[in-house]
Amino acid sequence: MPVLAARALAKTYQSGGAQVRALDGVDLTVERGEFVAIMGPSGCGKSTLLNLLAGFDRPSAGEVWLGEQRIDGLSEADLARLRRRRIGFVFQFFNLLPALSVAENVELPLLLAGQRRRAARRAAIGLLTELGVEERRDASPALLSGGQQQRVALARAMANSPDIVLADEPTGNLDSAAARGVLELLAGARRRGQTLLLVTHDARVAAAADRVVRLRDGRIVADGRLGPARSVPNLVDVGGDE
Ligand code: ADP
Ligand code: MG
């Protein structure tokens, strides 16, 4: 049973009179518990795809399915409710709330989901510790380095143990020690059966994935599962030249 699917998904942006075709007929099915890496050159539509899958933006054509529910036509309020229950999202540029502390940013989704303050605080500190940013718990996110903000954004996305985690370049600003912490957190999520869809340029992240989907000019040009040994890449090339 797929947890997430795109059908003939397309997105065209209007940009100062010109039209930019950011996504051009993407078909993608993600099964429960899969860890999918999305790769491709800058501008090929990776962030657009992630934003459409999470319902942050509307497709120009095509469909987005969350399990058995088609979501591309839902109201903003319904989309927000679905995301709160089921989707953790890490934005490429973090989008942390500067008026809240680091710990409060991570607690927020838990409080919105009805958890008590003490339990929310405990869970937030646990995640921040796992990611090596616990000592910044009381700081404003604006004072953190890019890599630290990225880890806080990941902690926030994981706080509610969402079924599906969508993350836009979650190791993009990290040194290798911090990237390892992120990868360990993601591996733990995967062991717990969460579905992961990550945009990445990072070969370490791609190597940890079950499947690598390559985009180019708004289209999927390769979609390959890694073999059971997970050492021999078995990319099924469907027309790309990478
Ligand atoms: P990626 O994440 O792979 O770098 P994006 O999805 O951000 O790519 O962008 C895909 C294409 O759409 C690019 O050509 C980008 O310039 C364009 N684009 C993205 N967002 C907008 C927007 N809001 N308005 C106009 N063009 C956009
Ligand atoms: Mg992007």
Q: What is the pLDDT of residues 11-25, one digit of tens each?
A: 999 988 999 999 999
Average pLDDT value over all residues in the chain: 89
Q: Is 42 in the pocket of ligand 1 (CB under 6 A)?
A: yes
Question: Is 3's pLDDT higher than 80?
Answer: yes
Q: What are 107-116's pLDDT values in tens digits?
A: 999 998 899 9
Tokens of 147: 């890599």
pLDDT category of residue 227 using cuts at 50, 70 and 90: low
Sign of CA dihedral 15, 21, 23, 25: positive
Q: Which parts of 140-202 fold into alpha helices (H)?
A: 146-158, 176-191
The answer, yes or no, to whether any atom of ligand 1 lies below 6 A from the CB of 14, is no
CA distance 117 to 113: 11
Can you tell me the mean pLDDT for 94-120?
Answer: 94
Q: How far is the CA of 22 from the centre of ligand 1 (A)?
A: 6
Number of Cβ within 10 Å of residue 174's Cβ equals 22
Question: Hey, whose CA ends up nearest to atom 13 of ligand 1?
Answer: 43
In the chain, what is the straight-line distance between the N-terminal and C-terminal CA atoms, in Å?
31
Task: Name 195's bridge partners.
Answer: 164
Quick one: pLDDT at residue 146?
86
144 confidence band (pLDDT: 50, 70, 90): very high
Question: 79-96: buried (b, 16+ CB within 10 Å) or exposed (e) per residue?
Answer: beebbeebbbbbbbebeb
Angstrom distances, CA of residue 109 to CA of 80, 85, 148, 181, 198: 12, 9, 19, 22, 20
Task: Evaluate: CB of 200 within 6 angstroms of ligand 1.
Answer: no
| pTM for the full predicted model | 0.88
CATH numbers and ranges of domains, the chain:
31-50+75-235 (3.40.50.300)
Taking only Cα atoms into account, the Rg of the chain, rounded to an integer number of angstroms, comes to 18
